[in-house]
Amino acid sequence: MEKIFRVDYFQKNNLLIVVAIIFGILIFATLLFYIIGIVNPNAKLSELKARTKSWWIMASMFILATVVNSMISYIAIAFLSFVAFRELYSLMGFRESDRRAIFWAFLSIPIQYYLAFIGWYGAFIIFIPVVMFLFLPFRFILKGETNGIIKSMAALQWLLLLTVFGISHLAYLLSLPELPNFNSGGRGLLLFVVFLTEINDVMQFTWGKLFGRHKIIPKISPNKTWEGFIGGIISTTIIGFFLGFLTPLKGSELIFVSFMVAVSGFIGDVVMSSIKRDVGVKDTGNLIPGHGGILDRIDSLIYTAPVFFHLVYYLAY
Amino acid sequence: MRKIILQVIYCVIIRNFLRLFIGVKFENSNILMTEEQFIVIANHNSHLDTMAMMAAIPHKLIHKVKPVAAKDYFGRTKFQEKLSNYFINTLLIKRTSSSEKGGDNPIRQMIKELDKGYSLIVFPEGSRGNPEVMQPLKKGIALVLLERPHIKFVPVFMYGMGKALPKGDGIILPFTSIVKFGNAEKINTDSNKDEIILNIEQRLIALKEQ
């Protein structure tokens, strides 16, 4: 049992408090919508209910990833990358002759996560931006089909950076060395960035629904407003400050990092929206209900994971 | 014993492989739960199609369903024929001799299996063809339906698996795919074979555009 589950979880009050808070919020939201549904049967709740359901799944997945043996956590996050990569590349219309290069791109996923698992930082940080960047074009040219090759090379590399390199920073958080006077460790950091990113989405959504008047980028995301953006950033920064016990950061550093998570979460969200508009789909898949694809749920994480990782790595390690 | 083997292969291994690894999404596949005997009519892009169809069959019916496959492809040797008959439960027909009378006539073969109580999976496009391009349907299935009009047909449209495993390529790549089941329907006994084929084609296209 101890090999599969990390029993020390229950001795780490910090983590336990946050898990309790997350489930508390989810139970509150579920009950709230249930009661509103009974009191006012005409209320349009299906979207909110579906959202809550997808939060349950996301929260359980990430909390499980922090409870179980770390090897399983790495595999779980790698699977997330795999599904995101698959969803996105399927939409992008690669050429028939790109299949071999795409095969190698898929293979890079386990390698990248293995490098995170063994904690070889130097290799982890260059594997996709340097090694795959140089290798994939070589695999493309072996096929010899030059018509449209730039687009394929660029799109594949960019996809790997988004869905594999970016998300794999979440896994590397678990491989960061122990710090004195900081006992939540990598699991605390992982929980912090995922929770803050998701709460940022919720806050931007809520503030936008309540007070949204001025559209911020109507061509890409008509529901995004300045009110939602600013309200979201302020509330996320405050929440991040109070959850700071999950990180080794203090005071102004913590405020700055939370602020950056909020801003980059917004950017990730709209960047992914623009991609969805380009390929002409609203939802990217159906793994998690309500929000369509898994990409729709991790779009902000694609940006927040590397931003948060490198800020923390610079400030604390 | 064979039923259990088929159930483990298709309802557990292949189904999860397709869903988790390839990324196949089954839509409305529980339509088959309420049917006892049926003919599944699907478009054909990839070897994965047969696997996906078998994986979508409810586990109670799995041993009563036979995919119809080409003898010149899956039964090239006696051993290969035995293997595919055992593990895929195939009904092998000759693609070349559709006009031939007698025992080997594919239409007769299919009707014989239907009379034994088996359901069928057919791909009336004949061959996999170019990935994701639909070809005109062969007429044979209309003849079978005309002979046994009480048996319902279920149109199925599949998209994406022709990119996951296209014809002439040995590598399987994950590709988000979809398998859409239409509602089971009996044919109109007054119509002729061309009208039936046209109706089936329209149902497939309607599923595609849904």
Condensed to tens digits (0 to 9), the pLDDT of residues A68-98 reads 767 888 998 999 899 999 988 988 889 989 9
Are the beta carbons of A87 and B176 separated by less than 8 Å? Answer: yes
B166 to chain A: closest CA residue:
A96
Cα–Cα distance, A102 to A97 (Å, whole number): 10
Q: Render the burial of A133-143: b for 16+ CB within 10 Å, e for the rest.
A: eeebbebbeeb
User: Would you call B169 and A82 a contact, using CB atoms and an 8 Å cutoff?
Assistant: no
Contact assignment for B174 to A103 by CB distance below 8 Å: no
Q: How much is the ipTM here?
A: 0.86
Which CB contacts under 8 angstroms, 24+ apart, belong to A43-47?
A47/A290
Q: At A8, is the pLDDT very low, low, confident or very high (cuts 50, 70, 90)?
A: low
pLDDT recorded at residue A126: 96
User: What does the alpha-carbon distance between residue A310 and residue A298 come to, in Å, rounded to a whole number?
Assistant: 18
Mean pLDDT of A291-311: 84
> Is A86 in contact with B23 (Cβ distance < 8 A)?
yes
Query: What tokens does A48 get?
Result: 């909110």
Rg of chain B over CA atoms, in angstroms? 16
Q: Name the one residue in this structure whose structure tokens are 């336990």.
A: A16
Cβ–Cβ gap B174/A96 under 8 Å? no
> In the A/B pair of chains, how many CB contacts fall below 8 A?
31
Structure tokens belonging to residue A99 = 């299949």
The pLDDT-based confidence of A193 (bands split at 50, 70, 90) is very high
Nearest residue, CB atoms, B169 vs list A90, A99, A106: A99
Closest chain B C-alpha to A87 CA, distance in angstroms = 6
Does residue A5 sit in helix, strand or coil?
strand
**CATH number of B2-209, picked from 3.10.20.30, 3.40.50.720, 3.40.1130.10, 1.10.3720.10:** 3.40.1130.10
Tell me what percent of chain A is helix, strand and coil, each rounded to the nearest 5.
Answer: 80, 0, 20
CB–CB of A305/A248 below 8 Å?
no
Sequence-ordered list of residues with C-beta below 8 angstroms from that of B99, at least 6 positions apart, any chain: none
* B188 burial level (CB within 10 Å; 0-12, 13-18, 19+): exposed
Highest mean pLDDT range out of A29-33, A100-104, B26-30, B90-94?
A100-104
CA distance B77 to A259: 68
A83 to B23: CB separation less than 8 angstroms, yes or no = yes
Asked whether residue A291 carries a pLDDT value surpassing 80, the answer given is: no
The CA distance from A93 to A126, in Å, is 27
pLDDT band at A254 (very low <50, low <70, confident <90, very high): very high
Instruction: Determine the pLDDT at residue B86.
Output: 85
Residue B96 dihedral angles phi and psi, to the nearest 5°: -80, -25
What per-residue confidence (pLDDT) applies to B175? 93
Assess contact for A212 and A192: CB atoms under 8 A: no
CB A282 within 8 A of CB A256: no
Which residue in the set B163, B166, B173 is minimally distant from A106, CB to CB? B173
Q: Verify whether the Cβ–Cβ distance A87 to B23 is below 8 Å.
A: yes
Which H or E run includes A48?
helix A46-67
How many percent of chain A have pLDDT more than 90?
44
The chain B residues in contact with chain A (CB within 8 A) are 23, 25, 131, 160, 163, 166, 169, 171, 173-177
Q: What is the chain B residue with the closest CA to A93?
A: B163
Q: What is the pLDDT of residue B99?
A: 52
Per-residue pLDDT, A289: 45
Query: Which residues in chain A touch residue B171, judged by CB atoms under 8 angstroms apart?
Result: 99-100, 103
Residue A283 pLDDT > 60, yes or no? no
pLDDT given for residue A276 in this prediction: 79
How sure is the predictor about A2, in pLDDT bands with cuts at 50, 70 and 90?
Answer: low
Q: How much is the pLDDT for B142?
A: 87
Q: Which residues of A touch B (CB under 8 A)?
A: 82-83, 86-87, 89-91, 96, 99-100, 102-103, 106, 285-286
Please state the domain extents for chain B: 2-209
Query: Across the interface, do B23 and A106 touch by the CB < 8 Å criterion?
Result: no
Confidence check: pLDDT of A250 > 90: no
User: Residue A132 belongs to what H/E stretch?
Assistant: none
What b/e readout covers B23-48, taking b as 16+ CB neighbours within 10 angstroms?
bbbbbbbebbeeeebbbbbbbbbbbb
**Alpha-carbon dihedral angle through residues A126, A131, A132, A136, given to the nearest 10 degrees:** 160
* Pair A128, A165: CB distance under 8 Å: yes
Strand partners, A68: A5
The band of A288, judged by pLDDT with boundaries at 50, 70 and 90, is very low
User: Which of A244, A249, A214, A245 is closest to A228 using CA atoms?
Assistant: A214
Per-residue pLDDT of chain B (210 residues; tens, 9 = 90+): 888 988 999 999 999 999 999 999 898 888 888 888 999 999 988 888 989 999 999 888 888 899 988 887 787 888 888 888 888 888 888 776 545 555 568 888 888 889 998 999 999 887 777 777 778 888 888 888 888 889 999 999 998 888 899 888 888 999 989 899 999 888 888 888 888 889 888 999 888 887
Using a CB-CB cut-off of 8 Å, the residues of chain B touching A100 are 171
- Average pLDDT value for residue range A11-22: 79
Q: Which amino acid is at A234?
A: I
Structural contact between residues B172 and B22, judged by C-beta atoms closer than 8 angstroms: yes
Taking the C-alpha atoms of residue A79 and residue B21, their distance in angstroms, rounded to an integer, is 10
Is residue A256 over pLDDT 70? yes
Q: What is the mean pLDDT of residues A251-260?
A: 94
Write out chain B residues lying below 8 Å of A80, CB-based.
Answer: none
